[in-house]
Structure 1
Amino acid sequence: MKIRFRIAGFVVLLLFLGNSLFAQSEKALLWKIVGKGLKEPSYLFGTYHLLNNTYLNEMPQVKQSLATTKGLVVEAVIDSSKLQSMAMMAIMPGKKISDMIAPEEARLVSAELEAWMGVNLAAVDQLKPSSVIVMLGLLYSQKLNAEILKKYPGKPMDVYLASTAKKDHKTVTALETIEQQLNFLYNHFPLEEQARQLAIFVKQKEISERSQVELLEIYMEHDLEKLYHYADSLPKDMGNSDFLLKDRNVNWMKTLPGLMAKESQFIAVGALHLPGPDGLIALLRKQGFTVTPVK
């Protein structure tokens, strides 16, 4: 049961990481959206799910922009009463990771779990391999970036924005449910493919560890174009990731224009959803909105 609730905690943290249409040199995490008949400006902000709200003190324009809008849009709203059911979605009854990978790969995975989590593979053997990848990736980011992250105490950025909006009696809209997000993470690939990806993830741990450090560094430079190109340059051995970024962006764009037409919105989603030819900035511009950086 401890492992199940640990999974839920990690999921909470996780869910809360061009072409000519995106050709810009401005470094900004916050973007203003106007045009196409909008009565008031809306804003698009790229978050980093492990950074706490005190980081926003370095960007006063974020709080100022939030204060001017009537609604907040986030990826999902966490319901603490569902933590146990969230954890249960990671379980695969009747199957074991150790039966789906080679013995040597199982030893490597077990050693990595021992080093980072203090448990061996047997303790998580019936978890979906994708959930183990999620846990290890978050641990890499938390521990390797600990010196930076501890400089910014408080609530996770997304949680803070939602609680502030509710306190100010703003409308809070979730683009997805937690169940939908967990389905993306845990059920997109067949279990055997997930197991293959877990083995690769551990074999390439140096790349995984380094990427967690470099992604945060680039985020703190506010350089979305660099962030996009760095993420795009990472090895593709883990399978196509369009379902996590591109496909969700396209789906969100079915909702966002209507929300902004109804009332001004502060849209806060993971920073990697913003840049690139399939990012929200480019998709908004394709629909006729004017999107400009806020410094």
Structure 2
Amino acid sequence: MKYLVGLIFALVSSCSFANVFYKIEHESQPTAYLFGTMHMVCHVDASLPSEVTSAFTNAKQLVVEIDLTDSAQQRYLQQNVMQQPADYLRKHLTAEQLTNLRGVVENDLGYPYQQIKSLRPIFINALFLQHFLDCDSQPLLLDEMLTQQAQVNSKAIVGLETVAEQLALFDSISLQEQVQALYEMAMNPQQNRDDLQELQSVYLNDDSDKLYEVMRSQADFDTFEQAFLSQRNKNWVTELPKLIASQPTFIAVGAGHLSGTDGLLTLLRQQGYEITPIPINFIR
């Protein structure tokens, strides 16, 4: 599996619909909104669209993938940020590869290799992704921003899954495969930088047709979709109707979860919800 591709796909929409923001309606139930996010947007002129902020303001609760305001989730994450065994990189890379990776981590990322070498591959990958986006200004952290605003305004925050469940997804991939993908990412910075910036541009322009075309061209698309998207969507859609029925709700999840046969939009429609796309513009 191309690990970077999987991570990128989780961050941005692959939907063949025209938008990443939707109104969800059902007879005799409060209106809900579904926002497909890119967790970090690196553009000096980007801001949260007014249509999104208005819907969020009127919502009584925020539904996210994981509620990281929950102290139990915070503790679990802190306790499981390290990979076991701690010297896993040495076990799965040659001496030459290890030297190459150390050089990239220290010279490009600017982290002491000893400080991060025992982190789970997913967290080292995250450091590379942030580096490849190469922000010129403070990035727009969509999920974090919404969660903070929910706290400030005393909105209920509900997580659709736990940290343990998300980490288990990555643990289902062999450690050798994760390490090899991490190494390939580190050794191909320009390609990864170009891919991320292209995807960000497509997301900000709300051009889902182009985005879908880009995603379908990636290797292992079908494998990743089943493992990281389809089953999770099916799990979530068993919970969402109950949450939506109780009070006005704003749902914010990685936009890759929106589309496809097992996408949230399709699954919610199958349960009788009316889904209305709302065009938005991220660029001021």
User: Shorter-chain TM-score: what band?
Assistant: 0.7 to 0.9
Q: Which residue of 1 aligns with 2:122?
A: 130
How is 1:137-176 mapped onto 2 (pairs within 5 angstroms)?
Answer: 137-141=129-133, 143=134, 146-147=135-136, 149-150=137-138, 156-176=141-161
Q: Give the TM-score normalised by structure 2.
A: 0.78
| Equivalences, count | 264
Q: CA RMSD, aligned part only?
A: 3.1
Equivalent-residue separation in structure 1 for 2:202 and 2:106 (angstroms): 30
Q: Which residue of 2 aligns with 1:230?
A: 214
How is 1:117-266 mapped onto 2 (pairs within 5 angstroms)?
Answer: 117-119=109-111, 121=113, 123-141=115-133, 143=134, 146-147=135-136, 149-150=137-138, 156-185=141-170, 187-236=171-220, 240=224, 242-266=226-250
Alignment check: 8 A CA contact 1:34 1:290 kept:
yes
Equivalent-residue separation in structure 1 for 2:164 and 2:69 (angstroms): 11
SS at match of 2:168: helix
Equivalent-residue separation in structure 2 for 1:79 and 1:170 (angstroms): 12
Equivalent-residue separation in structure 2 for 1:283 and 1:41 (angstroms): 17
The question of 1:61 aligning with 2:70 is answered no
The question of 1:290 aligning with 2:274 is answered yes
SS at match of 1:242: helix
Q: Which residue of 2 aligns with 1:73?
A: 63
Instruction: Call closer, same or farther: CA 1:165–1:84 in 2, change over 3 Å.
Output: closer
Equivalent-residue separation in structure 1 for 2:202 and 2:62 (angstroms): 25
Give unmatched runs, 5+ long, in structure 1: 1-13
In the TM superposition, residue 119 of structure 1 has moved relative to its aligned partner by 4.1
Q: Which residue of 2 aligns with 1:91?
A: 83
Q: In structure 1, which of residues 42, 46, 54 is the aligned counterpart of residue 36 of structure 2? A: 46
Q: In structure 1, which of residues 19, 33, 47 is the aligned counterpart of residue 24 of structure 2? A: 33
In the TM superposition, residue 136 of structure 1 has moved relative to its aligned partner by 1.3
- 2:99 maps to a residue whose letter is R
Q: Which residue of 2 aligns with 1:272?
A: 256
Q: Which residue of 2 aligns with 1:5?
A: none
Instruction: Call closer, same or farther: CA 1:254–1:203 in 2, change over 3 Å.
Output: same
Equivalent-residue separation in structure 2 for 1:280 and 1:247 (angstroms): 11
- 2:239 maps to a residue whose letter is T
Equivalent-residue separation in structure 1 for 2:126 and 2:270 (angstroms): 33
Query: For each residue in 1:57-100, what CA deviation from the matched residue of structure 2 results, as whole angstroms up to 9, or x when unmatched?
Result: 55211121123333211112224866675244223235331221
Query: What percent of counterpart residues are identical?
Result: 27
Equivalent-residue separation in structure 1 for 2:226 and 2:169 (angstroms): 11
Instruction: Call closer, same or farther: CA 1:287–1:115 in 2, change over 3 Å.
Output: farther
Equivalent-residue separation in structure 2 for 1:87 and 1:136 (angstroms): 20
Query: For each residue in 1:107-140, what CA deviation from the matched residue of structure 2 results, as whole angstroms up to 9, or x when unmatched?
Result: 3322321232234655544333333223212221
Instruction: Call closer, same or farther: CA 1:161–1:58 in 2, change over 3 Å.
Output: closer
Equivalent-residue separation in structure 2 for 1:170 and 1:201 (angstroms): 39
Alignment check: 8 A CA contact 2:30 2:246 kept:
no
Alignment check: 8 A CA contact 2:102 2:113 kept:
yes
Mean alpha-carbon deviation: is it higher for 285-294 or for 98-107?
A: 98-107
In the TM superposition, residue 166 of structure 1 has moved relative to its aligned partner by 3.5
In the TM superposition, residue 220 of structure 1 has moved relative to its aligned partner by 0.5
Instruction: Call closer, same or farther: CA 1:232–1:115 in 2, change over 3 Å.
Output: farther
Q: Give the TM-score normalised by structure 1.
A: 0.76
Equivalent-residue separation in structure 2 for 1:257 and 1:83 (angstroms): 27
Alignment check: 8 A CA contact 2:16 2:212 kept:
no
Instruction: Call closer, same or farther: CA 1:85–1:290 in 2, change over 3 Å.
Output: closer
